[in-house]
A and B are shown apart, each in its own frame.
Chain A
């Protein structure tokens, strides 16, 4: 694709700001850590646990600078970007610790600044500023739209919606679509209906039964302050890929709004936030995909691949930090690892590694460091062994959330149970080719599913500690070591 003039302007703008950031950072190094993941992957909990662990001093044996005592203090600082909401850390922490509920999900971008005072290995005292940027992964799925025309996007969305199991959800929207004539006169009411049905279809795809991930445009699911504006009121039409719309037609209107969506929503996000990250962690909830079925897993793979295509990765050099910041470390984390016995963590990691294989190769080729980890930012369970017949099932013990069901029983949110969620598959080749698959909730009833990952409530905490309770975790220290450990040498 040839660079247009606007692209050049954009790049120049980015470089200018990068230079400004760089000059500010010489004496006070700052890392912008991007935290993303598709919704319900656990972004909010991850950030809350990370900040709490750093500020309070958690149990982080693998996080070298903390366990050897070189981090003197870590504290929250006022949020630097005036136009971005602050990450509501205190509220989320209270929800997590006092009410024992999971915080509600991220709907918008938010940011938090953490200042870490530490001492280098040679004794020099330094300060590291860590800007944590939290944004919904769905927005990332919009970034590829920048290079797509309306016609191409419409054709792709339609093709996707005609596959199983999405087809079943899209029935209403398809019916309405058949009544529309793209070359007919523009009609606000018809467009509103089409957009509403399309949004409903996207939303239905996301629920627990199907757990689909690849659902652009992302702002339809999380409209924020743009809800109801024309930029969010469009839907795919059945139009030829290389046609031109007649003037004042429905097609022309949809196309105009699609372009507006790109200008108003996608491009500012890319420019103001995404292009400035130094480190990135991508959280993915592979276990819900297992809960739902093989289609959800394949969809997750496609969505992750889409996300990863957007990153500007590569080894950071002096010149690149000055003019074109790149992400030089990416960590893929399979969250909610506490829903599995630890003996299955290696398999979970292997599955995630397989999911992001292509993207990892590309990033490594560009010189970035990439790793995969099975993570639980807040560990809600303990481990146990259950004897069933001759089997010893590696199980976990926790309190399921009120309303969760398993084996025909509905839990009240107070009693603890032990659960064996099923064995994760080892045959990864077959898993992604569609052979040797498993049955999920999307295919039938609860009794048939090969996996059942219950959702648990946050753990009951030890309140006797004078520093206040610490949040238990799995491999949060390893995550920290990978993401910022090298900056604290």
Chain B
């Protein structure tokens, strides 16, 4: 057994006592200091036992042992970072060279222009500066978008962890960040106000996350569902009437990209071009992972259920299938762009969306 630290004695204080500080519990900043004092006082308590007041350890139990340990994904056997990364070095060096060449070319150009005439030179200079400035802004926005996407991912992972560990302080930190994150969304004003009212209540971590999900995500989820089924409907309609397969493919690609962008913006992300590329890649790989599961639950049933429609008209069947593909892409994108995991609210099912799709079809027919 470990050495026994004497527990802190119970004590009672008058409210007129100057040492009593009435504060609302905010364990965020206390948690940080407590560990430092814990180590300091436990080492000093043995030597300086004569000093009466600080005789005990500070231990604020914010962190509970996780009751259920989630199975960790097994670490990959092949270490990807083995050896020196020559490829990276090559690309960095090459990019550097190209940048230098570009710079040289621009400065040469402007020098030549100045040599031609003062006015031309000035115009060229201004154009170059404008191009440079806007490039910087574009890069900044891309970077900002990527950071925001990464933050969403992080929030999602942290929230999923809190749902298991029920850690109160962490849940509060997540909610605070989420509130800041969703601040620009006017739809959520009421939900944000409710959450802010409850953030200092004594609520367990997992419950707090669920509450936030219910308050903030409900309107967004409804809108997401509408967006997805609209996109799916559009795709299935275009496929049904389009004369060429190439047009179908192009249209599906465009519609899917647009849908992913809309979903990302809906949940608070601001993806630029790079962010969109990243999201697209993630969505497709997410779809590949979850595809098997989705096939298991409802797709098979819906495909066979709507076999009748496809027998009537092969174009119609293709349309439904393409629409479903779009819907699945949309659902995968929701998983990726939503800052909180689905827990208190039901995850939209492909089946529901297919129903929307068929309803629309029937109405049109």
A475 in contact with B204 (CB, 8 Å): yes
A144 and B145 alpha carbons, distance in the complex (Å): 66
Chain A residue numbers with a CB within 8 Å of B287 are: none
Q: A155 an interface residue at 8 Å Cβ cutoff?
A: no
A397-B22, A415-B15, A422-B7 given. 17 additional CB < 8 A pairs? Answer: A61-B201, A61-B203, A343-B25, A383-B23, A386-B20, A389-B52, A389-B53, A391-B58, A406-B12, A415-B14, A416-B15, A418-B15, A418-B17, A420-B8, A451-B10, A452-B12, A478-B203
Contact of B61 among A347, A392, A438 (CB under 8 A): A347
- What would be 17 A-B contacts, judged by CB atoms less than 8 Å apart? A62-B211, A342-B202, A382-B22, A383-B24, A384-B22, A386-B13, A390-B37, A391-B8, A391-B37, A392-B58, A409-B12, A416-B15, A418-B20, A420-B8, A425-B7, A435-B1, A450-B9
Chain A residue numbers with a CB within 8 Å of B54 are: 389-391
Residue of B nearest to A62 (CB): B207
* Given known A68-B214, A343-B62, contact A390–B10 (CB-CB < 8 A): no
Chain B residue numbers with a CB within 8 Å of A406 are: 10, 12
A-B contact count (CB 8 A): 140
Q: B356 an interface residue at 8 Å Cβ cutoff?
A: no
Residue of A nearest to B8 (CB): A423
How far does the Cβ of B40 sit from chain A's closest Cβ, in whole Å? 8
Chain A residue numbers with a CB within 8 Å of B210 are: 62
Chain A residue numbers with a CB within 8 Å of B122 are: none
B24 in contact with A452 (CB, 8 Å): no
Q: B4 an interface residue at 8 Å Cβ cutoff?
A: yes
What 0/1 pattern do residues 151 to 193 of B give for CB contact below 8 A with A? 0000000000000000010000000000000000000000000
Q: A106 an interface residue at 8 Å Cβ cutoff?
A: no
Contact of B12 among A418, A426, A430 (CB under 8 A): A418
Residue of B nearest to A451 (CB): B10
* Given known A343-B27, A347-B61, A409-B12, contact A386–B21 (CB-CB < 8 A): yes
What 0/1 pattern do residues 435 to 451 of A give for CB contact below 8 A with B? 11010000000000111
Chain B residues 34-57 with CB under 8 Å of chain A are 37, 41, 51-56
Q: B11 an interface residue at 8 Å Cβ cutoff?
A: yes
Chain A residue numbers with a CB within 8 Å of B9 are: 422, 450
Q: A344 an interface residue at 8 Å Cβ cutoff?
A: yes
Chain A residue numbers with a CB within 8 Å of B194 are: 61
A343 in contact with B60 (CB, 8 Å): yes
Q: A417 an interface residue at 8 Å Cβ cutoff?
A: yes
B202 in contact with A420 (CB, 8 Å): no
Chain B residue numbers with a CB within 8 Å of A391 are: 8, 37, 41, 53-54, 56, 58
A420 and B14 alpha carbons, distance in the complex (Å): 12
Q: B59 an interface residue at 8 Å Cβ cutoff?
A: yes
Chain B residues 230-282 with CB under 8 Å of chain A are none
B-binding residues in A (CB < 8 A):
61-62, 64, 67-68, 341-347, 350, 382-395, 397, 406-407, 409, 415-423, 425-427, 430, 435-436, 438, 449-452, 454, 474-475, 478
Chain B residue numbers with a CB within 8 Å of A388 are: 11, 19, 53
A427 and B55 alpha carbons, distance in the complex (Å): 20
Chain B contact surface mostly: loop
Chain A residue numbers with a CB within 8 Å of B214 are: 64, 67-68
Looking at B14, B59, B204, the one whose CB has the most chain A CB atoms below 10 A away is: B204
Residue of A nearest to B5 (CB): A423
Q: B344 an interface residue at 8 Å Cβ cutoff?
A: yes
A450 and B7 alpha carbons, distance in the complex (Å): 8
Chain A residue numbers with a CB within 8 Å of B360 are: none
B21 in contact with A385 (CB, 8 Å): yes
A346 in contact with B61 (CB, 8 Å): yes
A420 in contact with B64 (CB, 8 Å): no
Chain A contact surface mostly: mixed
Q: B355 an interface residue at 8 Å Cβ cutoff?
A: no
Residue of B nearest to A426 (CB): B61
B1 in contact with A436 (CB, 8 Å): yes
Chain B residue numbers with a CB within 8 Å of A390 are: 37, 41, 53-54
Chain A residue numbers with a CB within 8 Å of B137 are: none
A420 and B198 alpha carbons, distance in the complex (Å): 25
A145 and B204 alpha carbons, distance in the complex (Å): 39
Give me the 4 closest cross-chain CB pairs, A-B, nearest first: A389-B53, A389-B54, A452-B10, A390-B54
Chain B residue numbers with a CB within 8 Å of A452 are: 10, 12
A409 and B54 alpha carbons, distance in the complex (Å): 23
Chain B residue numbers with a CB within 8 Å of A436 are: 1, 4
Q: B30 an interface residue at 8 Å Cβ cutoff?
A: yes
Contact of A419 among B11, B41, B56, B203 (CB under 8 A): B11
A383 in contact with B25 (CB, 8 Å): yes
Residue of B nearest to A404 (CB): B12
B25 in contact with A478 (CB, 8 Å): no
A350 and B61 alpha carbons, distance in the complex (Å): 11
* Given known A345-B202, A419-B13, contact A387–B7 (CB-CB < 8 A): no
A345 and B167 alpha carbons, distance in the complex (Å): 12
Contact of B15 among A389, A417, A450, A451 (CB under 8 A): A417
A341 and B23 alpha carbons, distance in the complex (Å): 12
Contact of A478 among B15, B59, B62, B204 (CB under 8 A): B204
Residue of A nearest to B33 (CB): A392
How far does the Cβ of A47 sit from chain B's closest Cβ, in whole Å? 21
Contact of A384 among B4, B23, B60 (CB under 8 A): B23
Chain B residue numbers with a CB within 8 Å of A386 are: 11, 13, 17, 19-21
How far does the Cβ of B45 sit from chain A's closest Cβ, in whole Å? 11
A387 and B203 alpha carbons, distance in the complex (Å): 25
Residue of B nearest to A341 (CB): B25
A388 and B198 alpha carbons, distance in the complex (Å): 30
B56 in contact with A407 (CB, 8 Å): no
How far does the Cβ of B178 sit from chain A's closest Cβ, in whole Å? 16
How far does the Cβ of A478 sit from chain B's closest Cβ, in whole Å? 6
How far does the Cβ of A368 sit from chain B's closest Cβ, in whole Å? 18
A387 in contact with B21 (CB, 8 Å): yes
Contact of A393 among B8, B25, B168, B201 (CB under 8 A): B8
How far does the Cβ of B97 sit from chain A's closest Cβ, in whole Å? 58
How far does the Cβ of B167 sit from chain A's closest Cβ, in whole Å? 9
A450 and B37 alpha carbons, distance in the complex (Å): 22
Chain B residue numbers with a CB within 8 Å of A438 are: 7
A417 in contact with B12 (CB, 8 Å): yes
Residue of A nearest to B22 (CB): A384
B12 in contact with A419 (CB, 8 Å): yes
A153 and B22 alpha carbons, distance in the complex (Å): 53
* Given known A62-B203, A342-B202, A345-B202, contact A418–B13 (CB-CB < 8 A): yes
How far does the Cβ of A471 sit from chain B's closest Cβ, in whole Å? 14
Chain B residue numbers with a CB within 8 Å of A415 are: 14-15
